[in-house]
Structure 1
Amino acid sequence: MSIDIGKRLKEIRKSKGLSQRQLASRSGVTNGSISMIEMNRTSPSVASLKKVLEGIPMSLSEFFSVEEQEAEQYFFTKGELKELSPAILSAIGINGNIDQVSIKQVGDASRHSLQILYECYPPGADTGKDMITHEAEEGGIIVSGEIEVTVDNQVQILKAGDSYLFDSRLKHRFRNISTGDCIIISACTPPSF
């Protein structure tokens, strides 16, 4: 499922009773920037989109969550995990071969202060040479396979049973340099995407 970022921003802005000019003023961006995003004439960086959403205010997780659950759900089957779309992955800075990476979310992260993910990196999958940063802390356990994780200037190959925990504001990257899939169960707080 792909989200039309411009259409979504326009719907949310209007639902909050804001004009483009008002949102631009609140966000500290130009009116033209809001207009260009809403018409899909520009694709905002994660930093730009976060800045615009702060004027609403709204998190990236809330922005990309299009499903509303009527009742609180506490348990989820494997089939109920929500695949995060390439648009979401791109918005957080995953700029490598995102079509290969599968990241599934447990429940609706916009309703919680913790985001839990089931991640699959096939051989050659990479979050990109441009390292990722976001406002959170994250940790995970390698369930199977192995993955090269770079945090700041440290690089480590982690195998099944190994784990990681770091401040996500540090530049980081995940890259599967092995010949098999790597499965990771991870958590992020607060939810970042």
Structure 2
Amino acid sequence: MDIGHRLKTIRLQAKLSQRELAKRSGVTNGFISQVEKNQVSPSIGSLKKLLDGFPMTLAEFFAEEEGAGAGKPVVYRAEDQPERGTGNISYRLIGSRFPDRHITLLRETMPPGADTGPEMLSHPGQECGVVIDGKLLLHVGERRFELGPGDGYYFDSTEPHRFVNIGDDELHIVSASQPKAL
């Protein structure tokens, strides 16, 4: 396998510059350039750091493509959904390696009592979701909604909004927003 060519192909598919990948990976863009030109052969540790910038596992990197033009990734296993959350809220991004992605699809987990913060959120676009497990208090503008398993929401995300787990158990939501946020 031509590691340099493979790395460059994946980087370009992800629409990342060498500089952006270097920032994400904690290496220099000169090192990335040398790897892509096959001037240096990265150690497994260095390659792992580079792949964490996409994110991608070593197994995915070395997997043979399923024929020419295998196309865009389709399946994102649980272990391939990068964590984008902060604090005690987990946001697992689905489709992170899909080229030219237009939607943010998240698998969210909030422990009891957790919320998105005292400040209301607001950003361009729309978002929607469905509660899988737990109890959600959704603030949208001045309105308040209590949702349980199977209940869904859809709103213009320019309206100030906030999410709070009001149940005694973890809250699990699958949500989507557009344009992509993460």
Judge same fold: TM > 0.5, yes or no: yes
Aligned-pair CA distance for 1:66? 3.4
Q: Which runs of 4 or more aligned residues in structure 1 lie more than 3 Å from their structure 2 counterparts after TM superposition?
A: 68-71
Indicate if the aligned counterparts of 2:135 and 2:171 stay in contact, CA closer than 8 A: yes
* 1:81 matched residue in structure 2: 81
* 2:95 matched residue in structure 1: 107
TM-score, normalization: structure 2? 0.60
Aligned-pair CA distance for 1:72? 2.5
After superposition, the Cα gap between the structure-2 partners of 1:154 and 1:116, relative to the gap in structure 1 and judged at 3 Å, is same
**Secondary structure in 1 aligned to 2:130?**
strand
In angstroms, what is the RMSD of aligned CA positions? Answer: 2.4
Are 2:49 and 1:66 aligned? Answer: no
Query: Structure 2: which amino acid aligns with 1:101?
Result: I
Aligned-pair CA distance for 1:121? 0.8
Aligned-pair CA distance for 1:174? 0.3
Aligned-pair CA distance for 1:144? 0.7
The percentage of aligned residue pairs carrying the same residue is 29
Gaps of 5+ in 2: 1-18, 21-51, 62-70
Work out which of the two has the higher radius of gyration on C-alpha atoms and give 1 or 2: 2
Indicate if the aligned counterparts of 2:112 and 2:170 stay in contact, CA closer than 8 A: yes
Cα distance between partner residues in 1 of 2:54 and 2:73: 13
Cα distance between partner residues in 2 of 1:161 and 1:68: 31
Are 2:143 and 1:141 aligned? Answer: no
The CA deviation string for residues 45-74 of structure 1, in whole angstroms up to 9 with x for no partner, is: xxxxxxxxxxxxxxxxxxxx9316786211
Cα distance between partner residues in 1 of 2:130 and 2:99: 23
Gaps of 5+ in 1: 1-10, 13-64, 87-98
TM-score, normalization: structure 1? 0.57
